[in-house]
Amino acid sequence: MARSTILPLVAAAALLAGGAAFSVADAQSTMTSSEVGIPSRDLPAGLAGPTGVKTQVAAVDEMASNDKILTKDGIRYACTGVGEDSRSDPRWKNFAAKLVFTVKGGGYLPDVMARIENGKGKQVFSMKCAAPWLLVDLPADHYKVVATAEGPQGKRFEQTADLSVGAKGQHEAIIRFDGIPG
């Protein structure tokens, strides 16, 4: 789901959460649940209260939009790989590293949190993508990728992969989650 789709949903959840004010930067508006006529008592327990709202907003901010080239902490990246047109986009060949997330059967896996550490063990990048490919412009070095995904019944799975990025060309790491059926 694209960020432009998710934000209104998060805004609606926030409006329902105890009538607290909520600002959506993309919409440039602030509203309360009483202004939209939805009583906060109709919320499921997990969504009620301002703490749940903050968690939802943080999750949206940390999940990258698909097919857009973005920058985080000075590093260019893109989340992509949904659909043939997206996978064949020539822009993706210009990234130094390509991480591909898959399930046991080889199918693509979206919504993976990836943390990248350099050869000295320092975290240099982290991102959760709504798509199964994460492209990152990393300088030449050896990296460790720690990827976390959610499987059936909310069980968390973690995989690690080594990634060597050279001075030229794209270097790919396929990270397969054997514990998640596909």
Model confidence over 87-114: pLDDT tens digits? 889 999 999 999 999 999 899 999 999 9
Ordered strands of the 133-136 beta sheet: 69-72, 75-80, 133-136, 97-103, 171-177
Domains of the chain: 3-63 (no CATH), 65-177 (2.60.40.10)
**Top-confidence residue, 1 or 126:** 126
Does the pLDDT at position 38 exceed 80?
no
Percent of the chain with pLDDT over 90: 55
Average pLDDT across the chain, whole number? 74
Cβ-based neighbour number of residue 128 at 10 Å = 18
pLDDT band of residue 182 (cuts 50, 70, 90) is: confident
pLDDT band of residue 86 (cuts 50, 70, 90) is: confident
Alpha carbon 174 to chain centroid distance? Answer: 17
In sequence order, what are the beta bridge partners of 167? none
Cβ-based neighbour number of residue 109 at 10 Å = 23
Radius of gyration of the chain measured on its C-alpha atoms: 19
pLDDT at 85: 86
- Condensed to tens digits (0 to 9), the pLDDT of residues 119-165 reads 999 999 999 999 999 999 999 999 999 999 999 999 999 999 999 99
pLDDT at 137: 96
